[in-house]
A and B are shown apart, each in its own frame.
Chain A
Amino acid sequence: QVQLQQWGAGLLKPSETLALTCAVYGGSFSGNYWSWIRQPPGKGLEWIGEINHGGSTNYNASLRSRVIISVDTSKNQFSLRLSSVTAADTAVYYCARRVAAAYNFDSWGQGTLVTVSS
Chain B
Amino acid sequence: DIQMTQSPSTLSASVGDRVTITCRASQSINNWLAWYQQIPGKAPKLLIYQASTLQSGVPSRFSGSGSGTEFNLTISSLQRDDFATYYCQHWDTFGQGTKLEIK
Chain A residues engaging chain B, CB cutoff 8 angstroms: 44-47, 58, 60, 94, 96, 102-106, 108-111
Using CB atoms, name the residue of chain B closest to A105. Answer: B46
- Kindly state the separation between the CA atoms of A102 and B42 in the bound complex, as whole angstroms: 23
B43 touching A47, Cβ below 8 Å: no
Given A104-B46, A108-B43, A111-B43, A45 and B34 touching (CB < 8 A)?
no
Contacts of B93 in A (CB 8 A): 47
**Interface residues of B, CB < 8 Å — how many?**
21
Given A44-B97, A103-B90, CB of A110 within 8 Å of CB of B43 = yes
Q: CA A117 – CA B92 in complex, angstroms?
A: 28
Contact call A104/B34, Cβ cutoff below 8 A: yes
Q: B35-49: which have CB < 8 Å to A?
A: 36, 42-46, 49
Is the Cβ of B96 less than 8 Å from the Cβ of A104? no
